[in-house]
Structure 1
Amino acid sequence: MQTKISGKKIIITGASSGIGERLTWHIAKNGGIPIILARSINKLEKIKEQIEKQFSVECYVYKVDLEHRKDRTQVIANILTEHQKIQGLINNAGIGIFEDVMHMNEEDIERMFQLNVHALIQITKQILPYFATLEGEAHIINIASQAGKLATPKAAIYSATKHAVLGFTNGLRQELTDSKIEVTAVNLGPVQTNFFLSADPDGTYQKNVQKYMLDPDQVAQKIIRYLFVKKREINLPWWMDAGSRLYQVLPGPMERVLKKQFAKK
């Protein structure tokens, strides 16, 4: 059991499925108290029921559409009013739509930036003053992407949002160096989740990268291992992280050599 988690309240956005759902499960398994947010209240209520039955810990659910500023502002305000000593925030909610820039519609661009960037920054900013008042530790974990380090065709807009998440996370970490608030970025390759229902509706990309896809439960376990532990980044899979690092040194040669691989969307 991860004893650092036991008894701590942790907010998880996008918790109704995929990584968020598995994070909720493992937090509860380790004695933590999940506060879970998503649009689908029915899914959240089912998760709450299962967790409370199996682990005998409390789980709180909040319905919210994070694409809307007023909605997300209000739900965080409610949570901070209704709960004492929240110590963790995992900004997990996100969306991807794979399309070349010329054919991407403005509504999809707006959706990605609202959910991936604006909601993440706004929620973090709203909760920071509260974290600063805590006598104990607090931890902010932002789910970014390997795409934030290495952009590929048909993911220019998605990569731009994740570049923004990484930039925000790295800057925020430096601002909070002298505080008890830890800040961690999680950079992932493709994960087998509902993310691809919108990102890749015809299944082409999923088929091409199926053997490389990460398991959401294993991803959640890795993140939980570093919750309330000083950790700059979590990068999965290791070989994709190595490729991202090499790209920073040799972008031109890598784009030429991996042209077909990059274009699998």
Structure 2
Amino acid sequence: MSKTVLITGATSGIGEACANLFAYQGYKLILTGRRLDRLENLASSLNEQHNAEVAVSSFDVRDREAVISSLESLPHEWKQVDVLINNAGLSLGLDPVHKGDYDDWDVMIDTNVKGLLYVSRVVSNWMVDGGAGHIVNIGSIAGKEVYPNGNVYCATKHAVDALSKAMRTDLLPYGIKVTAIHPGAVETEFSIVRFKGDEERAQKVYDGFEPLVAQDIAEAIWFAVSRPAHVNINDMLIMPAAQATASNIIRKRD
């Protein structure tokens, strides 16, 4: 019987890479995100390439009522979720705290912390009913240390780190594993979103070194999820070879 994975933020980057890898591994997929057209295109591609069964559900994880209604409206057979990948997240701006944008703060907190909680609240109950499951939370090196001007984004990812530990404790009696994956510099749409569409500024983030790519993180997630039943990978910090800490990167210059 095929297992089922639910992936938030599946329309690009790490979420999309996870969708491709889990489809290749024979999973049924529930793909969520804000951009319905991208979800539908990805679902069609996965069905064509891997003969994958795919359900899509378009909502913004910040919207609690939309999260609950969208997930609860899935057919019963789709609620038997084996793996939840809480991937939806973002960073906005790179300003010192005294110059921060209030709206950016709200979006980051509502997406990275509250959105993760909303989805987990629904899906973890399905897993409790089923007596098993695996939740993978995508954190960041920003959840392990704070870097200049990262303030609120770093705070949200520290929260993801703490919530992962709390969820692991609370869900232990129900046979549910919880893994936190913390990437360093990964070249996705992340920096384009952070700099609000300024692609030139976003590209400079990765100048002079080879960053991670989304596939690297998807493979790490698959490693954690595919361990034997008695093994849980609690925490994984993954960096490009050129990066030692959040703000210590060796860049080659021409």
Smaller-chain TM-score bracket: 0.7 to 0.9
**1:71 aligned onto 2:66:** yes
> How far does residue 118 in structure 1 lie from its aligned partner after superposition?
0.2
User: With structure 1 as the length reference, what TM-score do the two structures score?
Assistant: 0.84
Match of 2:233? 231
Moved more, 147-156 or 81-90: 81-90
**1:56 aligned onto 2:51:** yes
Match of 1:141? 136
SS of equivalent residue, structure 1 residue 65: coil
Match of 1:122? 118
Letter in 2 for 1:130: W
Superposed CA offset, 1:110-155 (max 9, x none)? 00001000010121122222211114x3100000001011111111
Letter in 2 for 1:67: R
Match of 2:41? 46
C-alpha spacing 1:167/1:239, structure 2 compared with 1 (3 Å): farther
SS of equivalent residue, structure 1 residue 45: helix
From 154, 170, 178, the equivalent of 2:173 is 178
**1:222 aligned onto 2:190:** no
Distance in 2, matches of 1:231 and 1:241, equals 23
> How far does residue 72 in structure 1 lie from its aligned partner after superposition?
1.4
Match of 2:32? 37
Distance in 2, matches of 1:93 and 1:222, equals 17
SS of equivalent residue, structure 2 residue 31: strand
Distance in 1, matches of 2:86 and 2:38, equals 18
C-alpha spacing 1:204/1:180, structure 2 compared with 1 (3 Å): same
Gaps of 5+ in 1: 1-5, 245-254
User: With structure 2 as the length reference, what TM-score do the two structures score?
Assistant: 0.87
Q: Does the 8 Å CA contact 2:96/2:151 hold for their aligned counterparts?
A: yes
**1:207 aligned onto 2:207:** no
> How far does residue 212 in structure 1 lie from its aligned partner after superposition?
4.4
From 73, 83, 92, the equivalent of 1:88 is 83
Q: Does the 8 Å CA contact 1:10/1:87 hold for their aligned counterparts?
A: yes
SS of equivalent residue, structure 1 residue 36: strand
Give the helix-richer structure, 1 or 2: 1
> How far does residue 32 in structure 1 lie from its aligned partner after superposition?
0.5
SS of equivalent residue, structure 1 residue 184: strand
Distance in 1, matches of 2:75 and 2:153, equals 31
Match of 1:108? 104
> How far does residue 79 in structure 1 lie from its aligned partner after superposition?
2.8
**1:25 aligned onto 2:20:** yes
> How far does residue 200 in structure 1 lie from its aligned partner after superposition?
2.9
Q: Does the 8 Å CA contact 1:235/1:241 hold for their aligned counterparts?
A: no
Distance in 2, matches of 1:26 and 1:207, equals 29
Distance in 2, matches of 1:96 and 1:151, equals 14
Letter in 1 for 2:162: G
C-alpha spacing 1:183/1:7, structure 2 compared with 1 (3 Å): same
Moved more, 70-79 or 10-19: 70-79
> How far does residue 204 in structure 1 lie from its aligned partner after superposition?
3.8
